[in-house]
Structure 1
Amino acid sequence: MAKIPVIEQCTVSYKEDKHFLADRLDVYLERNSNLVFPHRHNFYHMVLFLSGAGKHEIDFKQYSITRGQVYVMGPGQVHSWMFEGDMKGYIVNFDIDYFKSLLLQSDYVESLAMFSSLNEGVFTLDELQLREMMGLMSQLIELNEKPIVSDLNRSLLLYILLKLDQAYAPNFPSKTVDYHLVLIKNFIALVDQHYKDLHLPKEYAELLFVTPNHLNSVCKEYLGQQAGEVIRNRIILEAKRLLILPDWTVSQVAYELSFNDNSYFTKFFKKIEGITPEEFRRSQWK
């Protein structure tokens, strides 16, 4: 069984700055033509498609490529691509600490909705948004050609990320921003932070100063899911990411996710996925 490799920024960056890369997608693919296998990154990764076809897969979910489609990924996510035709677009990679010297809140970028593990970081820009983003990305690439790294690169990239996060359409109904929507966003952020240790809706309700029934009701209205399902889905996602690592046993995965009983973890996984953890692992390496 092969191991899912972790790609480091320095191995795919052909620019002088090994912490940040912005370029045209066709140039990047030509220089990294071997990256067609499933892999992880230790950096943030973003692609905007202008033309081409095929599919890409992020965290075990497959997407068809369309013009104007954006995908964003945080460190640790598993992905692969199967491109067809003449691929055109833009690609940006940047390290986890890239904004550390610019922002007082070091985890600000991580907190953006489009980078949440509970949301799909795949969405499509309309033509107006796409034209604006093409101009911004061209400027970013031009800056990346400069030999001296400055906060101008970081500032423009941050502006692009904020514009994309604004365009990002998570699976919320079209509603005005109100207390309930703020509650949901805070709940999702807490699940991302505590899913390994807190498995029950009442534990999150306490942190949010609401009752479990109220949290469930709001989750059902905005997400179409009970709060418990949101938590379970995040646990399952992390379980899948760990299970594809051959040097981790099922018992180690269970312990990492705070399941004291390995058999309970197996039952938990099978109830949601319909297969055991071992069966899932084998299915990924057929």
Structure 2
Amino acid sequence: MKNIIPVHKLHERSSTGMEMIYFEGAKERASLLGAHRDDHYIFIFQEKGESSFMLDFKTLYIDGCAVLYVAPGQVHHNIGHMNATGWFLAIDTLLVNEEYRTVFEQYIIVNEPLTLDDKNAVKFKQCVQLAYDRFLRIEEPLSRSIAHSLAQSYIGMIAELYLSQTQFAQKQNTRPIQINSQFRSLLMGSFKTTKSPAEFAEKLNISLTYLNEVVKGHTGFPVSYWIHNEIVLEAKRLLYYTDLTVKEISFELGFSDHTYFSRLFTKFVGKSAGAFRAIYRA
């Protein structure tokens, strides 16, 4: 039997859409979690210390003050850290601004750690500290929405930093990377009307077999996964931010059969759309 890389789901350990951890003077040499993927984003702000991290089979060394993000689907695990201090943020993709997602998922070819100068370090610490303080009181009235908003600002600062320090024109795009980026861009703009992997392959003028090979090789998941992920992500947004019924949301997302949509959501998320709304809007 083949080993399967586990996928960790944020909803299994948090009902608020986010998780924040402050680590101080940590000294570890191995990750208890092992290599895994996540269905959510991870953002790490190391204020000081040293750490090493495996991301999609590449070892990253973080020395001093730096930030790093991990996108959904990337294989990763902590190798070890010495006297590392900083903040860990895990957050549901639905709470990440689409403009920021575009930066992380389409513009950045390789997400490596970015070092912060003293000026940026102060700004990042101020912002993440506000988010963390509010997260610790997330069950209080309005605190959840405030924590989400502060986390958005923090994530926006990280996206801005990656944009400012990445020279896209100088990077050598391979054909598979270009195809994956084109697919993700096409998907984000047409998932309500185009739901068949074959249709995306046709629009990109390549075979479905090749498209699946490229996308799975680059992200770890096939084309169908990312189609369903985008649909469910938008459904989560509508459940969280609007008062549309589940049936109305299914029609909004291009489904003529709302029962099929409900089954898809439950299978993908692990809970029904109604249960998801009840938990996240509690």
Superposition TM-score tier, normalisation by shorter sequence: 0.5 to 0.7
Quick check: which one's helix share is greater? 2
Match in the other structure for 1:119? 109
Partner of 1:141: 132
In the aligned structure 2, how far is the partner of 1:160 from the partner of 1:239?
A: 30
Contact 2:48 2:64 (8 Å CA) reproduced: yes
Q: Is the 8 A contact 1:43 1:96 kept in 2?
A: yes
Match of 2:5 in 1: 4
Q: Which amino acid aligns with 2:120?
A: Q
Q: CA deviation at 1:165?
A: 1.4
Q: Identify the match of residue 155 of structure 1 among 142, 149, 153.
A: 149
Give matches, 1:42-53, under 5 Å: 42-53=39-50
- Per-residue CA deviations over 1:68-120 (Å, capped at 9, x if unaligned) read 22111222111111013222111111112236xxxxxx734422x13437522
Q: Is the contact made by 2:26 and 2:84 (CA closer than 8 Å) also made in structure 1?
A: no
User: Which of 17, 20, 23 is the aligned partner of 1:19?
Assistant: 17
Aligned to 2:230: none
> Match of 1:4, SS?
coil
SS in structure 2 opposite 1:129?
A: helix
Structure 1: distance between partners of 2:36 and 2:27: 15
CA 1:190–1:240: 2 relative to 1, 3 Å:
closer
| Backbone CA RMSD of aligned residues | 4.0
Residues 192, 234 of structure 1: 8 Å contact kept: no
Counterpart of 1:190 in structure 2 is: 182
Secondary structure of residue in 1 paired with 2:32: coil
Residue 254 to residue 132, structure 1, CA distance change in 2 (3 Å): closer
CA contact (8 A) 1:118 1:188 kept: no
Mapped partners of 1:140, 1:29: distance in 2:
25
Q: d(CA) in 1 for partners of 2:3 and 2:68?
A: 26
Q: 1:70 to 1:238 in 2, by over 3 A?
A: farther
Q: Of the candidates 82, 85, 92, which is equivalent to residue 85 of structure 1?
A: 82
Query: Secondary structure of 2:168's partner?
Result: coil
2:58 pairs with 1:61: yes
Q: Which residue of 2 aligns with 1:273?
A: none
Q: Deviations over 1:183-215 (max 9, x none)?
A: xxx998534345976679x959xxxxxxxxxxx
Provide closer, same or farther for how the CA distance between residues 29 and 47 of structure 1 changes in structure 2, counting only shifts above 3 A: farther
CA pair 154-242 structure 1, distance change in 2 beyond 3 A: closer
Change in 2 beyond 3 A, CA 1:28/1:116: farther
Q: Helix, strand or coil for the counterpart of 2:91?
A: strand
8 Å Cα contact 1:117-1:234 kept in structure 2: no
Query: Match for residue 283 of structure 1?
Result: none
1:40 deviation in Å? 0.6
Q: Identity rate of aligned residues, in percent?
A: 16
Is the partner of 1:97 in helix, strand or coil?
A: helix
Paired residues of 2:24 and 2:86 also in contact (CA < 8 A): yes
State the AA in 2 paired with 1:190: Q
* CA distance in 2: counterparts of 1:84 and 1:163, whole angstroms: 25
The one-letter code of the counterpart of 1:128 is K
> C-alpha distance in 1, partners of 2:212/2:65?
28
In structure 2, distance between residues paired with 1:98 and 1:256: 19
Aligned-partner Cα distance in 2 for 1:124–1:234: 35
Name stretches of at least 5 consecutive residues in structure 2 with no aligned partner: 171-177, 188-196, 227-282
Alignment match, 1:265 = none
Evaluate the alpha carbon distance shift between residue 172 and residue 97 of structure 1 in structure 2; reply closer, same or farther with a 3 A threshold.
Answer: closer
Distance 1:167 1:199 in 2: 33
Using the alignment, how far apart are the partners of 1:21 and 1:27 within structure 2?
20
Supply the AA of the counterpart residue of 1:19. G
Deviation at 1:235, TM superposition (A): 5.7
Q: Which runs of 5+ in 1 are unaligned?
A: 100-105, 175-185, 205-227, 244-252, 258-286
